[in-house]
Chain A
Amino acid sequence: MGITNITFKKFISLIFTERGSIEYSVLFDIRLPRIILGLAIGGALSLAGVILQGLFRNPLVEPYTLGISGGAALGVCLNIIFQLEQNLGGISLPLSGFLGAILIIFLVYSLSIKKGILKIQELLLTGVMLSFILSSLIMLIMAISHIQDLQGIIFWIMGSLAEPNWFLIKLMFFVSILGLLFSYIFCHALNALSLGEEEALHLGINVELTKRLLFILASLLTGFSVSVAGIIGFVGLVVPHFMRNLIGNDHRILLISSFLSGAGFLVLCDTLARTIISPLELPVGVITGILGGSIFIYVLSKKQMKS
């Protein structure tokens, strides 16, 4: 298990007898929180991906498409170059990320409402454009910032599940479970929306309310994830897409299965990222991208061969 070698037998005896030893603390203070965070964030990002893909009826939409990650990144960048962290403590980094994300969510949302109707296509376009603007702003900040700040920014943007703050881990876990429960209120609505907005209305779905609540839900899940762990790409795109191919388009099982497989996938990727060139660690986003992308292309090409 990582650079600290603990066998299975040792593991059992650790749990029961050796509280307070170094191995015990590695296991429960470093590894366990990281696994819980991985589960929470992998689940949250995949869930956000499924919801947004269902909402936009577009399989290429992912949680970061709407500029939410850009907003969070900008918040963190500003925090780092103004050195708020030293004054406000470690929690200010995720906090500023979250504020940035919320601000962008609000902006995208209000720019896309025309005459009381949330225009889905405009939401997408506005989000993509805001993403570009934000990433340019981040580049601008990086270009004029000090070397040591630059390192902090890059480290954050690459994304990592190493989060020392137990409170944030618990919060993230709570948010993602709550998000999953909440999403189930809309499982039929998402199925109905797959036929188009007008058809969903014919099936008695309050389309306007559903669109708004689902957008806010997906945004919050993404905002929380990005602020806690930085930008971990690909999970929210590839896992939902993969599950759609595997189990079909019924959101009643798609929501939970994407959540679970996203959670498992991210923990797996993180374990690889930690161990593959240990004692050094790779950014987990590198693994999610390479592994997720390769599996996806493999599955897609196999599927095309069959048909």
Chain B
Amino acid sequence: MKESILEIKNLSCGYDSQIILSDINLTVERGRLLGIIGPNGSGKTTLLRAITGVIKPKEGNVFFENKDIYQIGLRELAKKIAVVPQSIIVNSITVEEFVLLGRIPHYKRFQFLETKKDQEIAKKTLELTDTLKLKDRSILEISSGERQLVLIAKALAQEPKLLLLDEPTAHLDIGHQIKIMNLIKKLNEKEGLTVLVVLHDLNLAGQYCEELVLLNEGKLIRQGSVNEVLNYRDIEKVYKTTVLIKENPLNKRPFIILFPPKGMDE
């Protein structure tokens, strides 16, 4: 078995008295591309927030490289784990300035300006995400597909070991969905980045991820290969809808077909 980068043990957490996640156990191996799926409100985003320390566990621990994340300084953690959030509030700044914000954890004490190295890294991540041509545009003016790529560029500027993405393909057209997922795959394979991605689209998750985690009502239902997790029993039970699961002839991965009510096409 490969070395684990992230280990979650008996994690329970939530907001105020409400428990969102209960007793989660999850190990992520270094270099994995892991998808997190589950219905709305199942605790996917909360799980990401627990990993980055935005919310404190009520019970259990999150270990990053065998160290409790609360033992790692905030800045150190920001150099190791980067997050691409679902949406973001921004002032009017240029794309390049925005990506350079990702360098903040790397600044030394009393370093106010970015160094040549910071600028080179920002340029590299803009190239990697195919957004270099946008660098002087205002972040408010670009399309939502482009903004998602820029968000990823900023996260990459942190030079993380682990990348967390929260529904990176939400509200995007299929062209951009594929572009984002291809980029994630490339980062995982070529750059050796471990990736945890929350996805709503089960088919995207099925086609791209190596491994899946299915959450429901704050509990981890199943972790395993795509074929293990995307079985009709679990999916139907969790999503409370009927599905048909076929094999995608191109790559033998499971493909989910939804059932419209009978008689709609007659």
Residues of A in contact with B (beta carbons under 8 Å apart): 57, 184, 187-188, 191-192, 194-196, 198-199, 201-206, 244, 248-250, 252
Q: Is the CB of A202 within 8 A of B88?
A: no
| A201 interface neighbour in B53, B73, B88, B158, Cβ under 8 Å | B53
Q: Is the CB of A249 within 8 A of B82?
A: no
Give Cα A188 to B107, complex, Å: 9
In this complex, the interface size class of chain B, counting residues with CB under 8 Å from chain A, is 20 to 34
Check A198/B54 contact, CB under 8 A, given A187-B112, A252-B113.
Answer: yes
Q: Is the CB of B101 within 8 A of A201?
A: no
Q: Is the CB of A203 within 8 A of B112?
A: no
Give Cα A192 to B82, complex, Å: 14
| A203 interface neighbour in B54, B92, B105, Cβ under 8 Å | B105
B81 proximity list for chain A (CB < 8 A): 202
Residue with the greatest number of chain A CB neighbours at <10 A, chosen from B49, B75, B76, B104: B104
Q: Is B93 part of the contact surface with A, judged by Cβ < 8 Å?
A: yes
Give the 3 A-B residue pairs with the shortest CB-CB distance, closest first.
A204-B78, A204-B75, A204-B105
* Shortest distance between the CB of A212 and any CB in chain B (Å): 15
Q: Is the CB of A194 within 8 A of B74?
A: no
Give Cα A305 to B102, complex, Å: 34
7 A-B pairs with CB atoms under 8 Å apart are A191-B104, A195-B90, A199-B88, A203-B101, A203-B102, A204-B74, A204-B78
Give Cα A202 to B54, complex, Å: 8
Task: Mark contacts of B41-80 with chain A using CB atoms, 8 A cut-off: 1 yes-contact digit, 0 otherwise.
Answer: 0000000010011100000000000000000011111110
Residue with the greatest number of chain A CB neighbours at <10 A, chosen from B82, B93, B158: B93
Q: Is the CB of B91 within 8 A of A194?
A: yes
- Nearest neighbor of A250 in chain B, beta-carbon distance: B97
Q: Is the CB of A191 within 8 A of B89?
A: no
Give Cα A281 to B88, complex, Å: 49
Q: Is the CB of B89 within 8 A of A202?
A: no
Give Cα A199 to B166, complex, Å: 13
A202 proximity list for chain B (CB < 8 A): 52, 54, 78, 81-83, 85
Give Cα A201 to B83, complex, Å: 10
Q: Is the CB of A203 within 8 A of B88?
A: no
B93 proximity list for chain A (CB < 8 A): 248-250
Q: Is the CB of B92 within 8 A of A249?
A: yes
Task: Mark contacts of B94-123 with chain A using CB atoms, 8 A cut-off: 1 yes-contact digit, 0 otherwise.
Answer: 000100011011010000110000000000
- Nearest neighbor of A185 in chain B, beta-carbon distance: B110
Q: Is the CB of A206 within 8 A of B74?
A: yes
Q: Is the CB of A252 within 8 A of B112?
A: yes
A196 proximity list for chain B (CB < 8 A): 88-89
- Nearest neighbor of B92 in chain A, beta-carbon distance: A249
- Nearest neighbor of B105 in chain A, beta-carbon distance: A204
A187 proximity list for chain B (CB < 8 A): 112
